[in-house]
Amino acid sequence: MKDLNEILGMATRVQEELQRAQDNLDKLEVEGAAGGGLVKVRASAKGRIIGVSIDETLLAPSEKQILEDLVTAAFNDARKKADEVSNAEMGKMTSGLQLPPGFKLPF
């Protein structure tokens, strides 16, 4: 029974560490950009959008479609970077764990 208690204790500690790592991801920022930096999106590594910056040269009515496309591209760039940072951070967290082959932790 002692072994089971040790395993359960270890599982609890791992779960707590993973929760702390998840919480940390919301503090890490990435920036997505499009149009050579004319549109920028700041996001947390969890994907929460923090801010959007649009160069004023794009604010002409004739540039509406271009602006919409650039905002979309910047959001996608920020999301991709957030995923990369998240995966790297969670990878650091789980690198020391001895998990059975094929076992994946939910992120």
In a domain, 101, yes or no: no
Q: How many domains does the chain have?
A: 1
In a domain, 9, yes or no: yes
Task: Tell me the whole-structure pTM to 2 decimals.
Answer: 0.61
The Cα 2–Cα 12 span in angstroms is: 15
In a domain, 54, yes or no: yes
In a domain, 103, yes or no: no
Strands (DSSP E) contained in 1-107 are 29-34, 39-44, 49-54
Q: Residue 63 maps to which CATH number? A: 3.30.1310.10
The Cα 27–Cα 91 span in angstroms is: 17
**Which residue segment(s) compose the domain that 38 sits in?**
1-96
From first to last of the 107 residues of the chain, give the pLDDT tens digit: 568 788 888 888 888 888 887 788 888 898 999 999 999 999 888 888 888 999 998 889 898 899 989 999 998 999 899 889 888 887 777 676 665 566 555 55
> Which H or E element spans position 56?
none
